[in-house]
């Protein structure tokens, strides 16, 4: 098979695999009290630690984001 055709096939397979993985994923986003973030993080599925962002204002809250694959 020509190399250019094989590259196209490989690219298409990668994209199809990405779509399949995305269908099995969930994106979780929430606000949580900063003093309880460790508890929240322990409950979140996913292999990596979630993204934690402080929220504007005087409230002791943070936003937490996590990806859950196939759970």
What does pLDDT average to in each consecutive run of 10 residues of the chain (71 residues)?
A: 93 94 82 88 76 82 76 51
> 27-42: per-residue pLDDT in tens?
888 888 989 988 888 8
Q: What is the pLDDT of residue 16?
A: 96
- Measured CA to CA in angstroms, residue 24 lies from 3, 14, 59 at distances of 32, 16, 34
User: Which residue ranges make up each domain of the chain?
Assistant: 3-69
> Domain 3-69, CATH 3.30.70 — does that match?
yes
pLDDT, position 23: 85
What is the bridge-based pairing of β-strands 61-69 and 51-54? antiparallel
Predicted local distance difference test score (pLDDT) of residue 4: 92
**pLDDT at res. 61:** 78
């Amino acid at each position: 098979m020509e190399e250019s055709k094989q590259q196209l096939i490989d690219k298409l397979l990668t994209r199809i695999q990405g779509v399949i993985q995305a269908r099995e994923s969930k994106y979780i986003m929430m606000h949580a009290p900063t003093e309880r973030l460790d508890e929240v993080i322990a409950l979140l599925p996913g292999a990596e630690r979630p993204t934690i962002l402080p929220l504007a204002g005087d409230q002791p809250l943070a936003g937490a984001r996590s990806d859950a694959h196939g759970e």
